[in-house]
A and B are shown apart, each in its own frame.
Chain A
Amino acid sequence: MTMLNVGRPTRPEATQATQPTTLTGGRGLLQDEALIFELGGWDKTGVDLPDADLGSDDLGELFRSAPIGLPGLSEPEALRHYVRLSQKNHAIDLALYPLGSCTMKHNPRLNEKMARLPGFSDIHPLQPTSTVQGALALMDQLAHWLKTLTGMPAVALSPKAGAHGELCGLLAIRAAHEARGDARKRVLVPTSAHGTNPATAAFVGYAVEEIAQTADGRVDLADLAAKLGPDVAAIMVTNPNTCGLFERDIVEIARLTHAAGAYFYCDGANFNAIVGRVRPADLGVDAMHINLHKTFSTPHGGGGPGAGPVVLSDALAPYAPTPWVVHGDAGFDLVEHAPDGSGSFGRMSAFHGQMGMYVRALTYMMSHGADGLRQVAEDAVLNANYIKARLSGAMTAPFDGPCMHEALFDDSWLEGTDVSTLDFAKAMIDEGFHPMTMYFPLVVHGAMLIEPTETEPKAEIDRFCDALLALAAAAKAGDVDRFKGAPFHAPLRRLDETLAARKPKLRWKPEAVTLVAAE
């Protein structure tokens, strides 16, 4: 025989007990990537441009002669830089992203494709309306879908995110009170509310007062009734609420609110639980924002952009901000300036809102349709209840009964383990999952709020539950080290937030400048 024994070994050697740290900071596919300012491209550019035919001699002393301090990258360098950075991010396309209150659902790529059609992406907000009839028709159709799904008579499309929608709703409420000469002072908000609710109410000039919560996680009707009065402008209630529960007394909440002459602002962040099944109009709501980037699948993009259209009742519709779309003789028109005598409270931003998000959201709505959207809500609720059922043996849920689209746990089951909610969450990272929302809502100790959404397959949910059950067993078995130092397998270990806040370093600076500043 011919003995060919050359070539590489084909099975692993015995592994070492401890891993050596790498010599360069790189770790396999994870590169140790510098800042663009450290890559040395001070004279470089990755964009080829023509020569300017005329100079800038006309600008005189306005000419920017001092160095700006911006590095450049060639195209291959830029791609590498950002692809390397991207690999340090968790993403919904990678695994479950169970952030409660955030509705991290699948982002269909048809939405992206449609938003990039030149007829949507390459049109200017101020070009003649005769040349953008399709865009205005799209806004009109989106408005029709949102009004039909909520049962509300009017919608202001222009708010740019959920908090901006809250601002829009409260501005309309304030305008409605002012129009009657009935300036009011207070806004009531449950303790479990998103931080944006009190922040928005304060921004609009109201004092914020908290409404107590019952032992079963709902608004305390008696406390609400006691706090309502002639100086209350509005209540802001999230429904389903931030404990993942439907406010079963919501019709009574609305009745009490209206009887006091106040308006009912509903935070619609959790609309995904009821879309297509329950219409907010049937609950007595006066205004509600809809996060297109939650319920209607426009991507979160690492923190935005979002879109927060606000549906309005007949009582508030006259105060809606400009602009709005109308049907004119020659097709659609855009009202950009409120006509004389209009109650419109003003303008939320320079243009017409988040058109790019409108295209994505309408594409998604049309894809699902009325039947599909109802199924969206049902599957979202089913997935959350399934998680709650599977984990309840090992973890403790503060409230009994079915939940809506998110399952809430507290940390009482961790008592005596020396493992905190934070430790548990960080250990989830090592298992390949993004942690759930932690320490929110504030009304539950060590809260863990899990929202799977409808786009998770059962197998992925089972994989997630299995991981959490295994971690829970480890915590109870005293395997504390696994938690205290976690994560061990992420691109970085836990970060020093105290250092970041005590000595804020918010931008790159050349080394020399840093040294001078330190002296």
Chain B
Amino acid sequence: MRFTKDHEWISLDGDIATVGVTAYAADQLGDVVFVELPDAGKTVAVSDGLAVVESVKAASDVYAPVAGEVVEANAALSDTPETVNQDPEGAGWFVKLKLSDPSQLDALMDRAAYETYLGTL
């Protein structure tokens, strides 16, 4: 699992990457009430808007950590957005991306580096 400074995580299975927000982000956001997800087929470049995650008081953009094509969005979140709070790095995933350049993952942090980064915030 790799991490970004914007508190997204990404895990790779073959050429399909699953993206979500980290436990730290889920805690900071407070109660998640809605997640706006992209349609399958949408292609994104690094740092493009990928999703919007909403609490009662705020709406936060989730950016694509790597480039690719959306192959699936987590439909279960529309009925149970609280999953993002309960299991952010598991069942609370947002989208699955087919990567256009897997080497982009190399630029991201591993868990140890991310934890170190969190310590600086």
A and B touch in the complex (CB under 8 A): yes
Q: Report which A residues bind B (CB closer than 8 A).
A: 497-498, 501-502
Q: Does B82 contact A (CB under 8 A)?
A: yes
Q: How far is the CB of B9 from chain A (nearest CB, A)?
A: 23
CB distance from A121 to the nearest CB of B (A): 40
- Nearest residue in B to A501 (C-beta to C-beta)? B33
Name 11 extra pairs, CB < 8 A, besides A501-B33, A502-B31: A497-B56, A498-B31, A498-B33, A498-B56, A501-B34, A501-B54, A501-B56, A502-B33, A502-B34, A502-B81, A502-B82
Q: Residue on A with the closest CB to B56?
A: A497
- Please indicate the chain A residues that have their CB under 8 angstroms from the CB of B33 in the complex: 498, 501-502
Top 4 nearest A-B pairs by Cβ distance? A501-B33, A498-B31, A497-B56, A502-B33
Alpha-carbon distance A284/B56, docked complex (angstroms): 39
Q: Please indicate the chain B residues that have their CB under 8 angstroms from the CB of A497 in the complex.
A: 56
**Nearest neighbor of B81 in chain A, beta-carbon distance:** A502
Contacts of B82 in A (CB 8 A): 502
A497 to B56 Cα, complex, angstroms: 7
Instruction: Give bound CA distance, A502 to B81, whole Å.
Output: 7
A498 partner residues in chain B, CB cutoff 8 A: 31, 33, 56
Which of B69-88 touch A at CB < 8 Å?
81-82
User: What is the interface of chain A mostly: helix, strand, loop, or mixed?
Assistant: helix
Contacts of B56 in A (CB 8 A): 497-498, 501
Overall SS of chain B's interface = loop
Q: Could you name 13 residue pairs across A and B whose Cβ atoms are closer than 8 Å?
A: A497-B56, A498-B31, A498-B33, A498-B56, A501-B33, A501-B34, A501-B54, A501-B56, A502-B31, A502-B33, A502-B34, A502-B81, A502-B82
Complex-state Cα separation, A497 to B82, whole angstroms: 14
A residues in contact with B54, CB < 8 Å: 501
Q: In whole angstroms, how far apart are the Cα atoms of A79 and B38 in the complex?
A: 49
- Nearest CB of chain A from residue B74's CB, rounded to whole Å: 16
A231, B8: Cα distance in complex, Å: 35
Least Cβ–Cβ distance between B71 and chain A, in angstroms: 27
Q: Which residues does chain A contribute within 8 Å of B34, judged by CB atoms?
A: 501-502
Residues of B within 8 Å of A501, CB to CB, are 33-34, 54, 56
Bound: A498/B31 CA distance, A: 7
Q: How close is A519's CB to chain B, nearest CB, in angstroms?
A: 14
- Interface positions, chain B 16-46, Cβ under 8 Å from A, are 31, 33-34
Q: Which residues of B lie under 8 Å from residue A502 when comparing CB positions? A: 31, 33-34, 81-82
**Inter-chain contacts of B81 with A (CB < 8 A):** 502
Cα A498 to Cα B54 in complex, Å, equals 11
Nearest B-chain residue to A497, judged by Cβ: B56
A439's nearest neighbour on chain B, judged by CB, is B57
Give the docked Cα–Cα distance between A501 and B53 (Å): 13
Of residues B56, B81, B82, which shows the largest number of chain A Cβ atoms within 10 Å of its Cβ?
B56
B23 CB to nearest A CB, Å: 19
Q: How far is the CB of A125 from chain B (nearest CB, A)?
A: 39
Q: Which of B44-72 contact A (CB under 8 A)?
A: 54, 56
For the complex, give the distance between the alpha carbons of A497 and B81 in Å: 14
Cα–Cα distance between A200 and B34 once the two chains are bound (Å): 25
Cα of A501 to Cα of B32 in the assembled complex, Å: 9
A131 to B54, CA, bound (A): 53
Which chain A residue lies CB-closest to B30? A498
Within the complex, what minimum Cβ distance (angstroms) separates A506 from chain B? 14
A341 to B31, CA, bound (A): 55
A407 to B56, CA, bound (A): 27
- A395 to chain B minimum Cβ distance, whole angstroms, is 23
Q: Which residue of B lies closest to A502 (CB)?
A: B33
Q: How far is the CA of A502 from the CA of B31 in the complex (A)?
A: 9
User: Complex Cα distance A498/B33, Å?
Assistant: 6
**A351 → chain B closest CB, angstroms:** 35
Distance of A4 Cα from B76 Cα, bound (Å)? 76
**In whole angstroms, how far apart are the Cα atoms of A497 and B55 in the complex?**
10
- How far is B33's CA from A501's CA once the two chains are assembled, in angstroms? 6
The minimal Cβ–Cβ distance linking A76 to chain B, given in whole angstroms, is 39
Measured between C-beta atoms, what is the minimum distance from B82 to chain A in Å? 7
A498 to B56, CA, bound (A): 6
- In the assembled complex, the CB of B33 is this many whole angstroms from the nearest CB of chain A, namely 4
Q: Which residues from A are CB-within-8-Å of B31?
A: 498, 502
A497 to B31 CA separation, bound complex (whole angstroms): 10
A445 to chain B, nearest CB (A): 15
| Complex alpha-carbon distance, A477 and B82, angstroms | 36
Nearest Cβ distance between residue B67 and chain A, in whole angstroms?
Answer: 24
Chain A residue at minimal CB-CB distance from B31? A498
Complex CA distance for A502 and B33, rounded to whole angstroms? 5
Question: Smallest CB–CB gap between A199 and chain B, Å?
Answer: 13
A502–B54 CA distance with the chains assembled, in angstroms: 10
Within the complex, what minimum Cβ distance (angstroms) separates B68 from chain A?
27
Nearest Cβ in chain A — how far from B2, in angstroms? 30
Q: How far is the CA of A83 from the CA of B31 in the complex (A)?
A: 35
Q: Output the nearest chain A residue to B85 by Cβ-Cβ distance.
A: A498
Complex CA–CA separation, A497 to B54 (angstroms) = 13
Complex Cα gap A502–B85 (Å): 13
Nearest-CB distance from A22 to chain B (Å)?
30
Give complex CA distance A169, B54 in Å.
31
A357 to B33, CA, bound (A): 38
Q: Looking across the interface, which residue of chain A has its beta carbon closest to that of B33?
A: A501
Interface string of B77-114 (1 = CB under 8 A from A): 00001100000000000000000000000000000000
A117 to B: closest C-beta gap in Å: 44
A501 to B31, CA, bound (A): 10
A502 to chain B, nearest CB (A): 5
